Amino acid sequence: MMDGSPSTPGKFKMEKPSHHHHFHHHPSTARLLLRWHHSSPLSKFAFWAFLAVAVFAALLLLSPRPPSSEADPPPSSSLGGAAGVNGGQHRRSLRTASWGGPAWEKRVRSSARIRRLAGGFSVLVTGAAGFVGTHVSAALKKRGDGVLGLDCFNDYYDPSLKRARQALLERAGVFVVEGDVNDALLLRKLFDVVPFTHVMHLAAQAGVRYAMTNPASYVHSNVAGLVSLLEAAKSADTQPALVWASSSSVYGLNSKVPFSESDRTDRPASLYAATKKAGEEIAHVYNHIYGLSITGLRFFTVYGPWGRPDMAYFFFTRNILGGKPISIFEGPGHATVARDFTYIDDIVRGCVAALDTAGKSTGSGGKKRGPAPLRVYNLGNTSPVPVADLVSILEKLLGVKAMRKVVKMPRNGDVQFTHANISLAQRELGYHPTTNLRTGLKRFVRWYLQYYHPNLVKKRGSKSGSSNS
């Protein structure tokens, strides 16, 4: 999508309760205790559930989060599955850079200004320096839409890759504001400065296994962040239509294939999946109460140039070139692990189509004036490929044999397979993926070598030239 760039990071002892203690309470206290003793089990359960949630929330807010080293890449899964993999021990706390002032507002307005003559949009893209966010922002800007980016540049993976994507967007005329989507004051300011027609919400904490180390980051980004954005959008005088990234991970332990939008999504296999499912329910609430037009997109294993270093195709490439072993997971009984790999350009076309077909929000200033569209679509390639085949393709493209190690799939939140039914997106969005895995990986490898190993590219080029002479 970005053709002007190089195609395309102890035990305790618990005392037994005694039944022989005598409590001396004030009569009103005694009556309350007696009423509690005879209350229904459901009431007791609700009380303890509320108390548990309150304590858990307090622990999440108070738990320290020391910064991690930027030099170390995040540990990787052997799947590159529906949601990717975990990062380092701790993700740096999110923070907002300084903002505001006449010069800053001028840059914001200029970036968001619509430049095509008819039917143009002014779009706020969150997570704009991320993988999908960068490609979508560039595509929208190229066709003349106004685009303003927002990204926190956290160090879940190498921030220098995000900065490189930011530089690409800057050259294309897209200003990326550095800030946290949970910063209500910043969001309010952005919506005051620009009357956005649409929001493309792609900011999220990705990965599956990282949730086992830093669960709070998923609640912060995927739940609280979504709510913060919806609050800003519903309060705008002219509410924008919102398109946001859900995930194929919401299908969780679903065994029916291919996955359809009408399938059950109440059995998530990871905290990441649970937060995305929570996002879909939250979207329903804001659509119902405030009249926001909301479209959720369930992405299936997106790959391609400028991708995420924590995805399998990416770190497989790195390890194959580095002569390091790669682990390939297998399911119970040596079952094949497969993914519905979807090339980035196909995903971008789906995102843009979702924006183009999004109906208008019906509220204003937080007040609903009529029903608004609420949609959800699968965006996949509908052609699952075994992960072992992915490795074979990479071997041929790189000209290097991989050191394979087949291991049992651990219970860490990854699932054995993904497979999208895209008939609804085909029918309503005109979504038709066209890139097979070999073609997409060839483009990725070309970019990867140019970005990380430019000398190797020159060496290969010189060999090719001498052999042709």
Active site residues: 272
Strands 294-299 and 338-339: unpaired
Q: Are strands 146-151 and 175-178 parallel, antiparallel or unpaired?
A: parallel
Interatomic CA distance for residues 432 and 426, integer angstroms: 6
**Strand residue runs (E) in 241-356:** 241-245, 294-299, 302-303, 325-330, 338-339, 342-343
CB 140 within 8 A of CB 160: no
Looking at residue 76, the DSSP 8-state letter turns out to be -
Instruction: Decide: 115 and 146 in contact? Cβ < 8 Å.
Output: yes
**Which residue's structure tokens are 């509220």?**
363
8 A C-beta contact, residue 344 and residue 305: yes
d(CA 118, CA 167): 29
CA distance 138 to 170: 10
**CA–CA distance, 3 with 452 (Å, rounded to integer):** 18
Give me the helix-helix angle, 437-452 and 387-398, nearest 10°. 50
